[in-house]
């Protein structure tokens, strides 16, 4: 609601400058930008850091909780580190012949392969929508975007029934295939292609006698590559985080991804709390790869790309 009403705020906030949030000096100082580092705004900085700490809290908790042995979990103070991290990891690895690592590998497979396929499909479609003028272009794009609005359960139930008809339920394909097409991926693909591939270059390629496929591979793909990395990451995270589809499609826990595996473990934990330690350790190990991934790519890739921002 805030956003919708904001143009009216212009008139409604006359004396906003007197709020304590902005310890701003007298006006003359405001104009000089170049000289020296600016003074720190204390209150806003505090607010921002508090926000950051709030977001880190559960992660910090799981980091500590995973070090606690069974009896320590319910008895010692929450943020007091325990003594059992390696034991917990060992126990988790030993649980049902290391099925936990199987789930992890499955998640990597679903998210990795699904992400790559999805990026290819999105790049094709986005490029076609951006570079060519053809009949049905806008209709196709709009129908695709309407797919975003579809509640996943509504798709998942008939998808399950159709997969059952095709005898494909409880297979890797049943989880992988429905996730390959991502409407948001196609949308991003179109935006990146529009921004990154100049029509003159495509035309020049045609004049030189290159075929459409070659133009796409040699000219467009390299120019779109930062965008393609973004689509891959977006889909990787989306599939990694997916719960509903594998939850519905799979019965055999050897094929579970991490999310469904941990959920079943938690469910059993309701009757045997000893499993809680395993769930907590499992949760920690499950979030480490993605966090590491994001920290790693920070240097080469900007978060802004995720919202479809294109640098000029």
90 to 129, contacts with another protein by CB under 8 A? 120-122, 124-125, 127-129
Give 42 or 96: the residue with its C-beta nearer to another protein.
Answer: 42
139 scored as a contact of another protein (CB under 8 A): no
Q: Which is nearer to another protein, 20 or 86 (CB)?
A: 20
Decide if residue 299 touches another protein (CB under 8 A).
no
Rounded-to-integer distance, Cα 117 and Cα 60, Å: 34
Residue count, binding to another protein (CB under 8 A): 121
Shortest Cβ distance from residue 223 to another protein (Å)? 16
Is 36 a binding residue for another protein by CB under 8 A? The answer is no
Could you give the angle at the alpha carbon of 210 between the alpha carbons of 208 and 185, nearest 5°?
Answer: 130
In angstroms, the CA 277 to CA 275 distance is 5
Site for another protein in 171-210 (CB under 8 A): 177-178, 180-181, 186, 206, 209-210
Q: Which residues of 278-295 are buried (b: 16+ CB within 10 A; e: fewer)?
A: bbbbbbbbbeeebeeeee
- Is residue 154 at the binding interface for another protein, with CB under 8 A as the rule? yes
Q: Give the range of 30-38, 82-90, 98-106, 224-232 binding another protein by CB under 8 A.
A: 30-38
Provide the minimum distance between the beta carbon of 171 and another protein in the complex, in angstroms, as a whole number: 15
- Output the smallest distance, CB 170 to another protein, in A: 14
The region of 29-37, 88-96, 98-106, 223-231 touching another protein under the rule CB under 8 A is 29-37
- Residue 279 as a binder of another protein (CB under 8 A): the answer is yes
Q: Tell how far CA 272 is from the center of its chain.
A: 33
**For another protein, which residue of 52, 173, 204, 297 counts as binding (CB under 8 A)?**
52
How far apart, in Å, are the Cα atoms of 206 and each of 214, 216, 222, 243, 278? Answer: 10, 11, 17, 45, 59
Say if residues 23 and 43 touch (Cβ distance below 8 Å): yes
Check: CB of residue 242 under 8 Å from CB of residue 193: no
Nearest distance from C-beta of residue 87 to another protein, angstroms: 19
Which of 86, 151, 208, 300 touches another protein (CB under 8 A)?
151
Transcribe 2-52 into DSSP letters: HHHHHHHHHHH-TTGGGSTT-----HHHHH--SSSPPPP-HHHHHHHHHHH
Rounded distance, CA 106 to CA 174, Å? Answer: 13
Distance CA 57, CA 54 (A): 5
Q: Does 69 bind another protein (CB under 8 A)?
A: no
Residue 77 or 300 having the CB closest to another protein: 77
Closer residue to another protein (CB): 12 or 97: 12
**Alpha carbons 280 and 9: distance in angstroms, whole number:** 46
Min CB(98)–another protein separation in Å = 20
CB of 310 to another protein, least distance (A): 9
What's the alpha-carbon Rg for the chain, to the nearest Å?
Answer: 25
Q: Which of residues 227-266 bind another protein (CB under 8 A)?
A: 237, 240-244, 248, 258-260, 262-263, 266
Q: Indicate whether 218 belongs to the interface with another protein (CB under 8 A).
A: no
């Amino acid at each position: 609601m805030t956003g919708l009403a904001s143009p009216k705020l212009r008139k409604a906030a006359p004396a906003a400058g007197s709020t304590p949030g902005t310890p701003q000096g007298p006006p003359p100082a405001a104009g000089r930008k170049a000289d020296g580092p600016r003074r720190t705004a204390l209150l806003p900085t505090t607010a921002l850091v508090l926000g950051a700490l709030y977001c880190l809290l559960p992660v910090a908790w799981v980091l500590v909780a995973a070090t606690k042995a069974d009896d320590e979990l319910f008895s010692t103070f929450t943020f007091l580190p325990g003594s059992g991290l390696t034991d917990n990891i060992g126990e988790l690895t030993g649980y049902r012949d290391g099925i936990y690592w199987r789930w992890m590998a499955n998640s990597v497979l679903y998210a990795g392969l699904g992400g790559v396929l999805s990026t290819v499909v999105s790049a094709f479609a986005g490029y076609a929508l951006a570079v060519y003028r053809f009949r049905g272009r806008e209709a196709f794009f709009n129908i695709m975007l309407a797919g975003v609005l579809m509640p996943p359960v509504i798709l998942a139930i008939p998808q399950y029934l159709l997969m059952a008809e095709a005898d494909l339920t409880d297979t890797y394909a049943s989880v992988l295939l429905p996730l390959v097409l991502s409407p948001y991926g196609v949308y991003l693909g179109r935006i990146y292609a529009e921004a990154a591939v100049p029509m003159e270059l495509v035309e020049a390629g045609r004049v030189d006698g290159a075929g459409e496929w070659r133009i796409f591979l040699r000219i467009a793909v390299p120019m779109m590559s930062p965008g393609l990395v973004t689509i891959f990451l977006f889909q990787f995270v989306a599939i990694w985080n997916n719960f509903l589809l594998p939850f519905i499609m799979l019965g055999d826990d050897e094929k579970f991804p991490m999310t469904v595996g941990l959920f079943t473990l938690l469910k059993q934990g309701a009757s045997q709390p000893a499993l809680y330690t395993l769930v907590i350790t499992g949760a920690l190990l499950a979030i480490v790869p993605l966090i590491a991934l994001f920290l790693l790519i920070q240097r080469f890739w900007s978060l802004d790309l995720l919202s479809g921002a294109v640098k000029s």
